[in-house]
Each structure stands twice: as C-alpha cells, then as structure tokens.
A and B are shown apart, each in its own frame.
Chain A
Amino acid sequence: MSALRPCLRSTVPEWKNGEFPDSTAYEAGYLVHRNSGWRNRRPVIEPELCTGCLQCYLYCPDGTILKKDGKVSVDYDFCKGCGICAGICVHGAIRMEAERQ
C-alpha cells in the first residue's frame, strides 16, 4: 500500500455552469499537471552508496524522494531538479545528471 498523496487525474474537472467552477470548494489533492518539465538536471541515486539515512527524504521541498526497501528512490514526475538532495547527501549517493532532450 503506497502512501497517500495528491495524485494525477486523467480528466480536468467539468462544471455545470460552463466556464466557472460551481463552488469555491473542491476535492483536495487533485493534480492535473506533472512538474517534470521544469527540470534540466535529474538526481540519480546510487543504491550501493545509499545508507537509508533519509536526509534527502526530509529536505526535499517537493516530497519527491520516496522510501523504498530501506533506501530511497525519486518520483521523476514531480521532481524539479533543484539539487538539494545531492547537496545534503553526505555519502555522495546522489548525483545530478543533465536531462536529455
């Protein structure tokens, strides 16, 4: 069972009155865009060097570092490539690679 988080929906909501939302309230956690297009570098995790200290998990402003089998992995749909994880990792297990076009 994966953790709860706002998730991508396949449809943009439709509302009765045409152009305007029906009310000012709406379902929480409703995502329609990825953020991956913002990125020109991507973090790559070196599993052999990762000790699972989870510092990158704590310091990621976007919450895109996921816990996986005692180590970490990256959600590339929402990572913006800021590089904070690579800077915070004292084991040198995260390197930033240029995004291929």
Chain B
Amino acid sequence: MIRPTARNITEDEYFFGHKACAGCGGSLAVRIALKVLGERAVAVLPAGCMSAVGFNFPQLCFANNAMISTFAGTASMMTGVEAGLRARGERDYQIVGFAGDGGTADIGIQALSGAIDRNDDMIYICYDNEAYMNTGTQKSSLTPFGASTTTTPVGGKIRGNVSGKKNMFEIVAAHGIPYAATANVGYIEDYMMKVRKASEIRGMKYIHVLAPCPTGWGIRPEEMIEYARMATDCGLWPLAEYDGGEFRLSRGMGDPSILRNYIKGQKRFRHLSDQDIGHIESMRDARWEKIGGSWKVPGRDRP
C-alpha cells in the first residue's frame, strides 16, 4: 500500500463549493475520502448535513457520481449501486457511503448490519458530529454523556444527555467485518491511510470518523481541528483498526488531563459540574482498561 500524502493524492476536488458551515468537520471527511478514492468512486448519501450542503439544485458540489438515498437505506442503496455497476461490466469502481451519526447508529443501523452480513464490496464512512446537526442539534445515540442538545436540554434536574455514546465501532466489528476503523479529521494522514487501506480490501469496510461541528458543539470554526485532536489525545476517541479478528490501537492516549479543557471549552458541555466530568473520566478509564487488556497496542508484542 502506498501511504497517501498531500503530495501524492490527486489535486482534483470532488466535493467543492458546498454550503457547509465554515470550519465543518464532516465536509473535510467527505472531501479527503473522495480525494483518496478518486473519480471512480460513487458516493451514496442519506439525509444529513452532507446531502443538504452538497445538493442544493442547481448547485451540485460533487464532481464524481453521487446520489441521495433514503435515510434508513444508505447501505442497501450502496448494495444496489454496486450490483448495478457489476451487472454493467464496470471495473475499478469504489462504492462509498457517507452517513452521519444518526443515519448510521440510529436510523440506518439495520441496513448497515445487513450489508455487513452480505459482505458486499464497499466502504461505509460514518462522519460522527455527535448529534443530528442538519436539523439543528437533536440527540442521536452517538451523542456523548452530558451534551446539551435541543432534545436533551439543560434544566434544573437533568443536565444534558443522560445516556452515553453507543460503541458503534465494536458493534460493527462484532459482525466479523473484513475491515473497520475509527479515525479523526484532526489526524488526517491517519484517516487517509485508513481510507486507502479500506479501498484495497475486498468486502465490506466501515470507517467511523469523528468530525467536530463548530455550530453544534459551540466552538469557534478555527478551533475545529484543535478540538478534534483533543478528543483523541484525552482518550475519549481512541483511534483503532479491526481486521482479521483483531483490534489494533493506532495511537495511544496523549495527555489524559486535557479532558477537562476539552469539556470546558465547548458550549454543549459548559453546564457540567466537576462530578459530571469525574463520571466522564471514569467511563473513559474503564474503556481504556478494556483496550489495554485485549487490544494490540503499538510498541507492545502481546496484549
């Protein structure tokens, strides 16, 4: 595999002129994935930010073939596109789906599960901005604990979202998928490498990329990359790969103490008390204990 870099990926832009908010993490995830996959990629997008900002007829921002699917049917429409291209005798194509966290973990999960079961040759990318941002920040099952959204508002008794973030990466891996990975737009080289790797594996692939949303998270647009990196560095968003029945950590935790800055800097978490932050820290530590016990960690031979 040739590691994709800024110098060897195509200069063509396949997602350009779109109407995403300034500093949008999701649009960066789509743009970079298409630059790695090239013009023979066919994109399928359900309802969500990226279909809302990319297809404002007649402003059509995808330079490759792209279509909007039903909200629940991203993965099943990808299967149909793949079967259609195969029936026409086409070669060297990539089917890629870009669904948000709601379109993946809530509404589209059965279609995704079915596609993994059929093991069709395609790449499903979930850009996770941690709520239904397109419709104005409603809670999804990938919204983290404590986040204030319009459906989990902060009041006298309830302080934001009371449930935690669904572990979508391990749910997908539990199907026995050929390749699954978590990525982060803040570590773009790692994300590009995972997209390239996925494009060279036959069968179903899943990449879950964290894509901060300045509008919904309550951060300034220029801080988007900084917060994306902090999420991984403080241990809340571990970067890992799953293939051949094995979990492999791509990057260790940076500085666990910056979790407090990560939380306190975002408007959606600003109401959280020290006790709430302590709860988030203990959930993170429990997760990392599990990772340390069973995942392959770089620089260590055995778990």
Instruction: Give Cα distance in the complex from A60 to B18, angstroms.
Output: 13
B14-62 residues at the A interface, CB under 8 angstroms: 14-20, 22-25, 27-28, 31-32, 39, 57-62
A28 within 8 A of B: yes
Instruction: Give Cα distance in the complex from A4 to B28, angstroms.
Output: 18
Instruction: Give Cα distance in the complex from A3 to B24, angstroms.
Output: 23
Scan A1-39; emit 1 where CB is below 8 A from any B CB, else 0. Answer: 001111010001100000001000011111111010011
Residues of A within 8 A of B18 (CB): 62
Scan A47-68; emit 1 where CB is below 8 A from any B CB, else 0. Answer: 0000001110111111100010
Residues of A within 8 A of B174 (CB): none
Partner of A58, one of B66, B188, B226: B188
A87 & B61 in contact (Cβ 8 Å cutoff):
no
A78 within 8 A of B: yes
B58 & A12 in contact (Cβ 8 Å cutoff):
yes
Instruction: Give Cα distance in the complex from A94 to B11, angstroms.
Output: 21
Q: Which residue of A lies closest to B188 (CB)?
A: A58
A29 & B60 in contact (Cβ 8 Å cutoff):
yes
Residues of B within 8 A of A61 (CB): 20, 22-25, 27-28, 31, 224
Known: A3-B12, A54-B7, A61-B20. A32 touches B61 (CB 8 A): no
Known: A26-B57, A61-B31. A82 touches B10 (CB 8 A): no
Partner of B39, one of A4, A12, A27: A4
Sorting the interface of chain B by its residue count into under 10, 10 to 19, 20 to 34 or 35 or more gives: 35 or more
B63 within 8 A of A: yes
B222 within 8 A of A: yes
Instruction: Give Cα distance in the complex from A69 to B202, angstroms.
Output: 38
A84 within 8 A of B: yes
B281 within 8 A of A: no
A45 within 8 A of B: no
Instruction: Give Cα distance in the complex from A31 to B13, angstroms.
Output: 13
Instruction: Give Cα distance in the complex from A12 to B66, angstroms.
Output: 20
A30 & B13 in contact (Cβ 8 Å cutoff):
no
Instruction: Give Cα distance in the complex from A74 to B16, angstroms.
Output: 14
A26 & B31 in contact (Cβ 8 Å cutoff):
no
A82 & B11 in contact (Cβ 8 Å cutoff):
no
Partner of A63, one of B15, B19, B65, B222: B15
B276 within 8 A of A: no
Residues of A within 8 A of B6 (CB): 53-55, 57-58
B209-234 residues at the A interface, CB under 8 angstroms: 214, 220-226
Q: Which residue of A lies closest to B20 (CB)?
A: A61
Residues of B within 8 A of A87 (CB): 222-223, 225-226
B64 within 8 A of A: yes
Instruction: Give Cα distance in the complex from A63 to B13, angstroms.
Output: 7
Known: A6-B17, A78-B17, A87-B222. A62 touches B12 (CB 8 A): no
Instruction: Give Cα distance in the complex from A84 to B23, angstroms.
Output: 7
Partner of B63, one of A29, A38, A54: A29
- Pairs A-B, 5 closest by C-beta atoms: A83-B222, A54-B6, A82-B22, A3-B11, A82-B23
13 new A-B contacts at CB < 8 Å, known A61-B31, A81-B22? A3-B11, A5-B63, A6-B62, A26-B58, A28-B66, A31-B59, A33-B59, A35-B19, A58-B32, A60-B28, A61-B25, A67-B11, A80-B23
Q: Tell me the A residues contacting B by CB distance below 8 Å.
A: 3-6, 8, 12-13, 21, 26-33, 35, 38-39, 53-55, 57-63, 67, 78, 80-84, 86-88, 96
